[in-house]
Structure 1
Amino acid sequence: MSTKSRSLLSIEATAATLEKLINALSNHQKYTILTSVDISLFLASIIAAIGFEYGFDLTPMETLHLGKFAMLAVGIEIGLFWAFGIYRQVLRYLDGGFIITIAKAAILSCLITSIVANLSTSPVIPLSVPVVHGMLTLILTISVRMCVRLTLGRLHEINYPGQKNGGVVIYGAGSAGCILAQALAGQRGNRPIGFVDDSPYLQGRNVQGIRVYSPAELHKLKANIGFEEILLAMPSIEGQRKREILQKLQVLGVPVKTVPSIAEILSGHVSINKVRELDIEDLLGRKAIAARPELLQQDITDRVVLVTGGGGSIGSELCRQIAKQQPKLLIIYELHEFALYQMDMELGENYPHLEKVACLGSVTDAQTLTGVIAKYGVETIYHAAAYKHVPIVEANPVSGIVNNINGTLTAAKCAIACGVHKFVLISTDKAVRPTNIMGATKRVAELVLQGLADLPNHNTCFTMVRFGNVLGRSGSVVPRFREQITSGKSLTLTHADITRYFMTIPEAATLVIQAGAMAKGGEVFLLDMGEPVKIYDLATQMIRLHGMEPHKDIKIEIVGLRPGEKIYEELLIDCDAALPTGHPKIFCAREAKLGWKELSPQLTNLLNAAAQCEVTECVSVLHDLVPEYQPMGQYAKVKYEAVAA
């Protein structure tokens, strides 16, 4: 090994040892060391000031007199440095503001020392002594702190080459922010360098030794010190206010993360200091819709409940929400073994006292489904099993028809045969004036329930809930964008003007349950989902919240609409048909429907065509059943031929 290599290793070992020793010091030990250093500096500066005025050839009387003055001056300065919070500042992250703070303390100590000294001692101390002493104190204390800051930075560079040394800013200096600051205090590279708070009362103060800045100072703070992340520590804030804060933060060009919401903390699954990536529901600023406990419990508590598609995005969340309401028995009915296994394990871990059964099966298998319903005495069914991805169903229309239409028909007939009390269908806004096979099949599924609801001689209440996109659903745009950003890939968008309605998966699940509880039979329920979101704006905001710039760090590519995709979605066929319900955010509509005598033969034709894989006939019958269906691409010609015939 060369001499140069040995020297480098020796330097690195020494640097590692020094940083380890420094990090091992408690805050009390650090305060003690810094106070001792300052006392030495104060004494040195006052001795220099006295020497400048008197020289060093002093009489015993002058020595005693000036010694008393020196002790007085040091005591006043130490008291003022503590009062100004100088010892609570983190040396590694000092900014230009600490110079002003030290200057204020030094000037004030100079004035107080001069006044007190000349009132309590004789002879008079010349003004030049406290003035020179104050100037030297300012120079020495700032110099020492700057040297320490540079040394710590250099040690970090040696020990962690290439690693960023910036800290984090915590937005919110309340109790959540303080807990987070304590948790981060010992983490290298994540130490808080400042709080930001909207409260004028807190701005300019020190909380836990960390300065509180106003939001307007963030740009200056970033320029002077630099920080790597902003952590939003305001779990109780929601809705429009959170959206306003995030819109201001995204222009800083640093990643923004957040502590969990109050609901997440109260659930017991996460702690307040568990920082997570910012979810897009935080950005959308949707106020959570308050659930009515009596509606959540009505069809679930002490009842036997079955969820079809219980391993899917919506079905699994329904299972979680149902488990909270203490059913007599929860049956998870799912075709895919691994999804069923995951849901069964999760419920077992989080709800150990829940009575549950995991059943493998297809909703198109009448024998298996009837057997399960009859065996356990099912009282409520939430039908979430469906193929929902527009391009996939568009490319596989027969499978979509069999699963979404025949599956719903089969499950509904099984419910009637077994005397199930309530049957709730999960529908979609894509069923409104559909332009794709998936939307058309979901509208036919609605027609099936509407037709069966009007039949006599059964006691099953059929209803359906229609809503837009859910955030975080498998295959949805939000997780896809997040994955593309994390991978450094371009964000792919089908159209610059495309918009969608959004809600969270828990919102969707609670809506389904509450709407089902209000059903009398045959209704279509929907949620007041607010304004639709422009997906292009969503993409740019997600990029910025990851600390990057759209079209510079991450590109946005417009790739064109997919087969059957609409630019705008709707929730109602007839916008005047929406009626209020007992819930302020849930509406009810009586959509146009077909009588069962008219519907049944057309369903038979459709399912026979699907069994023969006659795609053209399938599309033609779909259009007959759903006149507002406007197929696009390869199926558009089929529609026009059907109309001409």
Structure 2
Amino acid sequence: MIERTKKVGTLLIKLAKPLVKNYVPRKYIFLIDLFLSFLAAQCAFFLVFSTEGVYPIFTTSIGIWIMLGVQGCCFLLFKSYSGLVRYSSFRDAIKQLRVTSVSVISLLLINRIYFWLTGEKLILDAGIIVFGFIAFSFLFFFRVVIKKTYQVMNRSKKRKTAYILGIDREDIAMAEGIISENDNSFKVIGFICNHSKSHQTRIFNLPIYNIEQLEKSSTLADAVIVSDANLQKLRENDSPILGKLLDLQLKIYKLPKLQDWQGQSGYGNLQAIKIEDLLQRSPIQLDREKLRGLYHNKTILVTGAAGSIGSEIVRQLIPFSPKRILLLDQAETPLHELVVELDKNYEESQGLCYEKIICNVRRKKRLRQLFEEFQPEIVFHGAAYKHVPMMESNPIEALSVNFQGTRNVADLALEFKIERFVFVSTDKAVNPTNIMGASKRSAELYIQSLALQQNHYTTFITTRFGNVLGSNGSVIPHFKKQIAENGPVTVTHPEITRYFMTIDEACQLVLEAGAMGNGGEIYVFDMGSPIKIIDLAQHMIRLTGLVPYKDIQIEFTGLRPGEKLYEELLADKESTLPTHHEKIMIAQATHNFDASKKALLTKLLDSVKRYEAETAICTLKELVPEFKPADLAQQLESKKYS
């Protein structure tokens, strides 16, 4: 028996090897369970007949096959083979116990019926009970061996020690999951209580600490793991816990989103939180039925589709099943990357139909061909030059794309009777101090002038919001790169502030605003409170476990040409009106589009086409009187920190 047990153990180890790195088809697990049940039946017959002085090493009696058949039917009934063996838990043990119990009860009934019919029993009732115990033991032991083998072969040499933040039900459940899975990356050594006092002293025999105790401790864990609920609390501006955790140089981790678990437990794939996680606000509630009614089965043109905003608009349009999405951009490589992503993530069965179009919005003739060929019904215009210092050095290019390009697309939208034209603008268009902002403001004015025209079919909508977290060329990727290179992190001014919004939040609001209004409105988004860039830099450094000014230096370089200390969402002469969505407001402009204004718009276009930079800028100042380019005082301020 000892020799046979060794062979069974060796067999189980061999069976465990393919499970370590790959998913074994469920039919093979079913066959393995049947084989283990066959062994259990043989053991039961051996033990029962050994009491009578008979020692059958291997038997093929009808009783064996009936036991095996009943057990197999129970496997199929309860689908006990369907889970991932490497992630077996207490629930799987209960399922195996149910399978074995039902199998034993069924066999006892069959045995009784057979006795009534023939006067004999297939096997003693005690043998069936013994079979149940042995079968359950084998099935349970198999899963334990596979799970432990997987953990041993994949365990890191050095696991991080970690605290669980909070002692609420969700926090305890998360800790239980990590501990029960014997995670190969983290070892939980305690809990951090959010409250000053707690009646509990230990959970899972692990100590509960408060922040004050940790601050006095000479030995600390490497990390803190937070639940979704506590992550939401950390996002609050007045939460003191985040700063204290970062001061203790504890790295903070969270569970991945449920859709990113990819068929396996998320406890082994904890993710370090990013600055975007802390700045992300509560989820936006959209009127999806209304949006579906607007975007479903429509041909939708997205200009600047390969950019940060444009590509996210495309992703968020897909669930509404548009008839076709026209992906227009002049950047070949980013557009190709977007197409590869769409082909990978969305199947034809999901109804995604798109056209990839290389086109520059400055070329009206080419745009006209596209409108004639594809007949779009809705346009999201996101194509633009957006980098302030770059546009300060290239004013005609800024006006050519941001003003002339917008005008081209808007004119064609009017000509081809597009249902809705949604223009993506920026907070830099409010009281602009740079060419980029002024060029976007001039485009806003042109869109409003079209909206005021009589007897036209198109609804013109303008959306305006601040900086988008993680967008191409934004400050956060720039800081990440500098931190990865061990600094210094460069900030232009110690008092500079910006509004921030995540990409998905901004694009959701763009889609919602696109379904609003009668035309001509400028929708501004609730950006929350402005954030000091210096605070952003310090948080990002501390999130990596480093100390600002000690491990990573922060240097001030001075304001760049055209850069403001703070951004605004509304111009001085504008006021806001609420909408049905709490995060979207209407900016009511007081501009009167008389003949002189329209003449300035025409003059600006002519000077841009002739590449007359000086004339274009002078005209721009007349058209946008609040445009005040960087003056000498600002240049002196820049030199102060250089």
TM over 0.5: yes
Which of 180, 187, 190 lines up with 1:194 in the alignment?
Answer: 190
Query: Which of 338, 341, 346 matches 2:341?
Result: 346
Residue 489 of structure 2: aligned partner: 491
> Is the CA contact 1:370–1:418 (under 8 Å) kept in the aligned structure 2?
no
Superimposed CA distance per residue, residues 43-96 of structure 1 (whole angstroms, 9 cap, x where no aligned partner):
xxxxxxxxxxxxxxxxxxxxxxxxxxxxxxxxxxxxxxxxxxxxxxxxxxxxxx
Deviation at 1:214, TM superposition (A): 4.0
Could you tell me which of 361, 365, 368 is aligned with 1:363? 361
Structure 1 residues 270, 180: closer, same or farther in 2, change over 3 A?
A: closer
SS of the aligned residue for 1:174 comes to: helix
Equivalent position to 1:300, from 295, 301, 308: 295
Q: Secondary structure at the match of 2:468?
A: strand
1:439 counterpart SS class: helix
Aligned-residue offset at 1:590:
1.9
Q: Report the residue type matching 1:468 in the other structure.
A: G
Which SS does the other structure have where 1:238 is aligned?
A: helix
Q: Which amino acid aligns with 1:169?
A: Y
SS at match of 1:560: coil
Q: Secondary structure at the match of 2:432?
A: coil
Query: In structure 2, how many angstroms separate the alpha carbons of the residues matched to 1:338 and 1:247?
Result: 41
Question: In structure 2, do the counterparts of structure 1 residues 575 and 257 end up closer, same or farther at CA, with 3 Å as the change threshold?
Answer: farther
Q: Matched residues in 1 for 2:298 and 2:180: separation?
A: 46
Specify the SS of the correspondent of 1:373. Answer: helix
Which residue in 2 is equivalent to 1:250?
Answer: 246
Q: Please state whether the residue corresponding to 1:307 is helix, strand or coil.
A: strand
d(CA) in 2 for partners of 1:547, 1:317: 31
- Indicate the residue corresponding to 1:110 in structure 2: none
1:169 aligns with 2:163: yes
Q: Residue in 2 aligned with 1:279?
A: 274
Does the 8 Å CA contact 1:451/1:593 hold for their aligned counterparts?
no
Matched, 1:291 2:286: yes
Cα distance, 1:473–1:285 mapped onto 2, change above 3 Å? closer
Determine whether 1:259 maps to 2:284: no
Counterparts in 2 of 1:487 and 1:564: CA distance versus 1, 3 Å: same
Q: CA deviation at 1:232?
A: 2.3
CA contact (8 A) 1:466 1:527 kept: yes
In the alignment, which residue of structure 1 is the partner of 2:118?
none
Distance 1:328 1:212, change over 3 A: farther
Return the letter of the residue paired with 2:203. Answer: N
Match of 1:204 in 2: 201
- CA distance in structure 2 between the aligned counterparts of 1:210 and 1:356, rounded to whole angstroms: 55
1:228 partnered with 2:218: no
Q: Distance in 1 between matches of 2:538 and 2:194?
A: 26
- In the alignment, which of 532, 535, 540 is matched to residue 533 of structure 2? 535
d(CA) in 2 for partners of 1:623, 1:446: 15
Give the 5 Å matches for 1:366-385. Answer: 366-385=364-383
TM alignment of 1:236-635, pairs within 5 A: 237-238=231-232, 244=239, 245-260=241-256, 271=266, 273-284=268-279, 286-352=281-347, 353=350, 354-574=352-572, 577-595=575-593, 597-633=595-631
State the alpha-carbon separation in 2 of the partners of residues 586 and 237 from structure 1.
25
Q: Secondary structure at the match of 2:425?
A: strand
Measured in 2, the distance between the counterparts of 1:304 and 1:296 equals 14
Separation in 1, partners of 2:158, 2:468: 36
Equivalent position SS for 1:227 = coil
Partner of 1:112: none
Aligned residues: 472
Q: Is contact 1:309–1:334 with CA below 8 Å preserved after alignment?
A: yes
Residues 234 and 278 in structure 2, CA contact (< 8 A), matched pair in contact too: no
1:271 Cα deviation from its structure 2 partner: 4.5
Q: What CA deviation, in whole Å up to 9, does each residue of 1:289-320 have, x standing for no partner?
A: 32222343243122111110010011111011
Q: CA 1:625–1:635 in structure 2 vs 1: closer, same or farther (change >3 Å)?
A: farther
Query: What percentage of aligned pairs have identical amino acids?
Result: 39
Q: Distance in 2 between matches of 1:268 and 1:306?
A: 36
For the 8 Å contact 1:184–1:192, the answer to whether it is kept is no
Q: Which amino acid aligns with 1:580?
A: P
- Alpha-carbon spacing, 1:179–1:518, altered in 2? closer, same or farther (3 Å): same
Once the two structures are TM-superposed, the CA of residue 483 in structure 1 deviates from its matched residue by 1.7
Alpha-carbon distance between aligned partners in 2 of 1:367 and 1:272, rounded to the nearest angstrom:
55
Q: Distance in 1 between the 2:411 and 2:193 partners?
A: 59
TM-score by length of 2: 0.68
Task: Give, in angstroms, the shift of residue 181 of structure 1.
Answer: 4.4
Matches of 2:527 and 2:442, distance apart in 1: 23
Q: In the TM superposition, what is the alpha-carbon distance from 1:458 to its structure 2 partner?
A: 2.1
CA distance in 1, matches of 2:632, 2:613: 11
CA distance in 2, matches of 1:238, 1:504: 15
- Counterpart in 2 of 1:104? none
Q: 1:285 to 1:506 in 2, by over 3 A?
A: closer
Shift in alpha-carbon separation, 1:580–1:507, aligned structure 2, 3 A: same
SS at match of 1:464: strand
Measure how far apart 1:355 and its partner are: 1.5
Change (3 A) 1:183 1:195: farther
Residues 438 and 181 of structure 1, relative CA distance in 2, 3 Å threshold: farther
Q: 1:555 to 1:379 in 2, by over 3 A?
A: same
Q: Which amino acid aligns with 1:535?
A: I
Which runs of 5 or more structure 2 residues have no equivalent in the other structure? Answer: 1-16, 18-155, 636-642
Q: Deviations along 1:449-499, whole A, 9 cap, x unmatched?
A: 000111123201001000011111111111211221122111100111001
Q: Distance in 2 between matches of 1:210 and 1:370?
A: 69
Secondary structure of the corresponding residue to residue 299 of structure 1: helix
Secondary structure of the structure 2 residue equivalent to 1:518: coil
Structure 1 pair 370–203 and aligned structure 2 pair: CA distance change class (3 A): farther
Deviation at 1:366, TM superposition (A): 1.8
Q: Deviations over 1:208-244 (max 9, x none)?
A: x6545444443355x23x3222232336752666652
